[in-house]
Amino acid sequence: MARRHLRLGAFVGLLVVTATLTGCGRADAGPLSKTDAAMAALDEGNIEFALAATADSAAKQPVGFRMQGPFAIEEDRQYPILDMRYTTLLGDSEQDVRIVSDGNAIHLVQDGAKTEVSAEQARFLRLGKGNGGFTDLGVSGWVQDAVVVDRPDGSRLVTGAIDVGDLLSDLARISGQAAGAGTGEELDDESAGRLQRLVRSSEFTAELDRAGLPRNLRALVDFGRDLPPELRAALGPYASPRLEVTLAVEPTAH
C-alpha cells in the first residue's frame, strides 16, 4: 500500500504543479505579473520544477521532489500531453516515476510497470473552462522589495526578498498533494506573519525571457537552526529550516 500511495501522491503533486502553465494567473501589477500571464498562456514547452528541503546550507542530501519534461495543451484532447519524470528526493536515495499522457489517457510508468490512471484521479488534469481542475501557483506573489534590471535584448533580471506567506502557501498545497501530508491548504494570516518574522534570510532571483517566462527562477528561505511548528504543519515531511525552490520554463521552438 505504501508504494501505491507514493505513486498516486507523486502524480497528484505533478497535477498541482502543472497548473503553473495553465492557471488563470493572479491580477498583480508587480514585476512578475507578466510571468504569471505568460505561463498561463503557454500551451507547449518544457518545465522543470523542484523543491529541496535541507537542515542547512552544508547538507547535500535534500528531501523534496523534482519534476521535468515536455507538455502540450491541445483543444481536442481531454488532458494535456505529458511525458514527465517525477523524482522523489529521499535524502540518501531517489525514486522516479514517469507520468505519460497522450491527451486521452494518462499512465504511470515505474520499474517497468505501466498503470493507467483512473478517470477519478485524472480529473485534476481535465481541460476545459470553469471546471476547477487547475490551481494557480502565482509566482508573482513570491517576491517583495523587488529590483528589476531590464536588458537590451528584452529579457529581465528580478531580484529581491521572499514573501514567505505567499510562497509557503503555494508549497503547502503542492506538498500536501505530493506527500499526502501537511495541511494542503494556504497559511492563515497569523501563521504567515509569524513565519515571515522568523526568517533569518531569503533570496529571490529570476531570469525572465522577453515574454516573461522564467528561464531560471530560484527562491531560497532560511530559518536558521530552528524549525517553526507552523512550517511543519504546512509542509509535513518537506518541512525544514532551509527551503529552496527552482523553476524553469521553456517554450517549444517552432
| pLDDT grade for 235, boundaries at 50, 70 and 90 | confident
Residue 218 has pLDDT above 70, yes or no: yes
Identify which of 127-141, 147-161, 225-239 has the greatest average pLDDT.
147-161
Count CB-CB contacts under 10 A for residue 111. 8
Minimal CA–CA distance to 171: which of 122, 239, 70? 239
Minimal CA–CA distance to 204: which of 146, 136, 138, 137? 146
pLDDT tens digits for range 36-59 = 888 877 888 898 988 898 876 666
pLDDT tens digits for range 57-70 = 666 688 888 889 99
| pLDDT grade for 176, boundaries at 50, 70 and 90 | low
From the number of C-beta atoms within 10 Å of its C-beta (0-12, 13-18, 19+), residue 38 rates as buried
Residue 3 has pLDDT above 70, yes or no: no
Q: In the chain, how many H helices and how many E strands?
A: 6, 11
The whole-number pLDDT of residue 205 equals: 97
Instruction: Domain of residue 126: give its range.
Output: 2-251
- The SS3 assignment for 90 reads strand
The whole-number pLDDT of residue 99 equals: 87
Residue 130 has pLDDT above 50, yes or no: no
| pLDDT grade for 19, boundaries at 50, 70 and 90 | very low
Average pLDDT over residues 101-125: 80
Lowest mean pLDDT among 70-84, 92-106, 130-144: 130-144
Let me know how long the chain is.
Answer: 254
- Mean pLDDT, the chain, whole residue set: 77
The whole-number pLDDT of residue 125 equals: 60
More confidently predicted of 158 and 140: 158
The whole-number pLDDT of residue 26 equals: 43
Lowest mean pLDDT among 124-133, 148-157, 218-227: 124-133
In 75-130, beta strands by DSSP E: 81-90, 94-102, 106-110, 113-116
Residue 246 has pLDDT above 90, yes or no: yes
The whole-number pLDDT of residue 147 equals: 95
Percent of the chain whose predicted confidence (pLDDT) is above 90? 23
Half-sphere exposure of 47 (CA within 13 A, CB side): 26
Count CB-CB contacts under 10 A for residue 211. 16
For the chain, how many structural domains are there in total? 1
Distance between CA atoms of residues 176 and 15, nearest Å:
12
